[in-house]
Amino acid sequence: MHDDHKLIEGRIERVLRERIRPAVYPDSVGVDLAVWHAPGEPVPAAEALAADYQPTSVGAQWGPAWGTSWFRLTGTVPAEWAGLAVELVFDLGFDDKMTGFQCEGLAYRADGSPVKGLNPRNTWLPVGDPAQGGQEVVYYLEAAANPVLLDYIPFQPTQQGDRLTSSEEPLYRIARADLAVFDHQVWQLVQDIEVLYQLMLELPLTEARRWELLRALDRAIDAVDLQDVGGTASAARAELVDMLSRPAHTSAHQVSAIGHAHIDSAWLWPLRETVRKVARTASNVTNLMDEHPGFHFAMSQAQQLAWIEEHHPKVFARVKEKIDTGQFVPVGGMWVESDTNMPGAEAMARQFTHGKNYFRSRFGIETNEVWLPDSFGYTAALPQLVRLSASRWFLTQKISWNQTNKFPHHTFWWEGLDGTRIFTHFPPADTYNSELSGKELAHAARNYQEKGKATRSLVPFGWGDGGGGPTREMLARAARLADLEGSTRVTVEPPAEFFRKAEQEYPDAPVWVGELYLEFHRGTYTSQAKTKQGNRRSEHLLREAELWAATAAVRLGADYPYERLDRLWKLVLTNQFHDILPGSSIAWVHREAEETYAAVADELNEIIAVAQQGLAGTGDAPLVFNAAPHAHAEVPAAGALTRGEFAGRPVSVSTVDGVTVLGNEFLSVTVDADGLISSIHDLAADREVIAPGARANLLQLHPDFPNMWDAWDVDSFYRNKVTDLTEAELVSVETGSPELATLRIQRSFSASTVTQLLTLRAGSRCVEIDTEVDWHETEKFLKLSFPVDVRSDRVAAETQFGHVYRPTHTNTSWDAAKFEICAHRWVHLGEPDYGVALANDSTYGHDISRAARAGGGTVSVIRASLLRAPRFPDPETDHGVHRFRHALVLGADKADAVRAGYRINLPERVVSGAGEQVEPIVTVDNPGVVVESVKLADDQSGDLVLRLYEALGCRARARLSVGAEITAAYSTDLLERRWDDTTEYEVTGNGFELSLRPFEIVTVRLPRNPASQGDH
């Protein structure tokens, strides 16, 4: 037989495209169109429905960027269509290749009830099936003119990313608005052909099934009368019945398909637009569920459901109805799909407590799946937090984006920082926006790395980011692929069903230990510095507010601001979404984030001030409050004290020929005339810390133009070129107190300026560096370098509730890929008997490398990433003034690093009061056991709740002493509930003892009255 497969394939494609698909709507009549353009921001539906509409027509332009236009569509079903299926088709000017990234709309009935969203792949509204002749049709459509920012030529700088700078020119033109007959048979024929044709293309030419499908499809096309597709569709479908009825092979890969719509809570659109995107998508899927009772849809992010509840109560009622039937499935257990690299320890815990509490309070659901398909790497702290949140399973997709190394597993046990393991799955389809296409499903089966051990994977399907979620076409594919020869077996079912089956089938899955580092998007540790600083500052202000408010409640009987703290936490948690905190959103998003952080800081500072003033009492004595979990300069941790006059050895300062030496009892620091540190001599260890021939406090500037994903990526070749900023315009000594000495250093480069303050304090082993940068660069990367004479093949970097080790060498491709790492408040390099730590107050990106040492051996170079200047999606990223604080801690072990990290982020506060000491609400006798959070219980019972962890990677035993009368103490899950692993602690003398494994997190609940001692 001659090989004619290319000829037949071309025929199938053209007939499907030009004859069969258009025949789905064989007849149509226009509708009357009218429009009202909302001024400014979106308005409630009731206001829009009552507005003054003006006539418009197909072909009319509409929509300046971020504008909202309301369309009224009215028409009459022709009498001759009685008994037929009729739909209203409205095309706002969609580009079906830009699903989720352009205009979209939500349709309403005249009574204001929402119906469904309109999107590029979903342009229809129901009219009647069957319709009635003469039936009047009225719809209103709220249309959002969201600009296309990630276009066919991607990553182009644009001013459209903020309503303050976007164009007033209309972006879209109405392409279609009519009532149309919907031909079910033709539509079914389209689905038949697409499923079989896509399957055929994935089969090898050597396989008989491929040729059988080709011949059957050829016969089906023969059966179609191209001038009467509707009249011959049934005959064409009959030619395909046999091909669609043959069962899958016994060994076929099994796919659990779950409807899904990954919706970024902000990205190339602001938060307010996400509020509308989730309402449109929820309307679509609940509408689809009415027709397809076997359809299941998973939605994560409690914040998104809360937005629907607040802004679209009618949509929320439909969602709740479908949750009750089990079709609409809340997953994730988190407030948002947050970044997991940069949120602080307690914030990461609160993502779970606020998320799961929302799902429980609104729907009575305990979520078990932690659902994070798109975050940019996953902290090693997550497995323990997942377990402590009473969740069981973890799902992600993003590691498939690795640039260098392919991750070796799709289903595995993930072992975290403390040894906790959770069952984890990466869908091998390598997408969280599947269409259930033949190509995607075949890729899932081929790509699946657990073959021979396990047989099943999960595929989330549906258009995301405002694309409307799953479509009726996707469900038609799923039905045909349930048991089809040559294909995977597809079952639409909830994620919990997949996980239960997968875990039962593969209990001995392999183990991956440590973080899931994404070899991509490393620039997100640095982009949008003010967003990151706002997050860091907010986290520590929340710690202070809870600590002092709880202390005042216990000590003074003061009111605890439950509702305010809950609201403020949610604002901060929302901004930890994985395109906000990482700095990869449009200018509008980051402008609003900065405003939010400022408002949060104002309110938290007020809460702190009120609590502290109440604790301090009335008077003029300066009382020093210390919110850190470690004592400092005699002030106890979580307490306050009136500090005496300085009586120590003053800091010495000498300057000869422009070289300044600062000294105290521990350190001698030499700063050259250009402001660079040429020597730090540790007097106690009699050791030089700066690498031979090198200098520290060196600002370095690199070009920064990655191949793509500008705000997200730092590509390794940025290191090929570097400019050392050594020119100083001014180096001056500032002294005003015997307790400290400071050097001021001023530099300028390109269009930017830098002012640094180098400070040495009496009795300190730290060199403090305050850096102010007025940054006006483009596509540049600014680093702050500290070459130290420490040999180490690994660096310890703080993460949530502990630290992780990362290599400083490049032995393997896995090591080399970690050329930029994320750390929280400190990094630490150490030899067995000597270490150096660098603590910071606001940044996350670091790179730690090794270099040959003059005279032999190796040295280490610690570099902190300060600023970037990508042009997409915000063309003026980080332009303006920024302030950074660092502390180089000499002779430091990890306990010193932990202490320095808290210290630099929780500065003391001085309050005038009666001069009496404020005793801590809790003290710990083991410095390796850190109290991360002190608060009152979320259920407003008045119980005291402590969250603590082992910080050094050691087994620890500690006694906690409580500054209040307690009669009981017991451990809880993160949600402050008794659970299977609850431990009752024996209380003696208002304290109790506990033991912790390395990096273990423990939440302890202390009932404060008999009424609150039961289960919570």
Please report which helix (H) or strand (E) contains residue 306, including its range.
Answer: helix 302-311
The amino acid that residue 747 corresponds to is R
CB atoms within 10 A of CB 1007: 20
Residues ≥6 apart with Cβ < 8 Å to 949:
345, 801, 802, 929, 930, 932, 996, 999, 1000, 1001, 1002
Q: Are 660 and 680 in contact (CB under 8 A)?
A: no
Q: Is 227 exposed, middle or buried (0-12, 13-18, 19+ CB in 10 A)?
A: exposed
Residue 672 designated active-site = no
Pairing of strands 254-260, 297-299: parallel
CB atoms within 10 A of CB 473: 17
Distance CA 320, CA 318 (A): 5
Distance CA 1005, CA 974 (A): 11
Distance CA 712, CA 530 (A): 16
Helices (H), 32-124: 45-49
State both tokens at 837.
Answer: 């730590």
What are the CA-CA distances from residue 218 to residues 6, 12, 189, 214 (Å)? 12, 7, 13, 6
Distance CA 263, CA 278 (A): 7
Q: How many residues does the chain have?
A: 1016
Distance CA 138, CA 750 (A): 61
Catalytic residue among 162, 183, 374, 465: 374
Distance CA 435, CA 470 (A): 8
State both tokens at 92.
Answer: 């706002």
Distance CA 401, CA 240 (A): 38
Q: Are 217 and 197 in contact (CB under 8 A)?
A: yes
Pairing of strands 956-962, 991-996: antiparallel
Nearest C-alpha neighbor of 593 from the set 885, 308, 266, 304: 266
Pairing of strands 845-852, 766-775: unpaired
State both tokens at 516.
Answer: 């899931």
Q: Are 985 and 995 in contact (CB under 8 A)?
A: no
Distance in angstroms between the alpha carbons of the first and the last residue of the chain = 75
State both tokens at 430.
Answer: 């390598």
Catalytic residues: 374
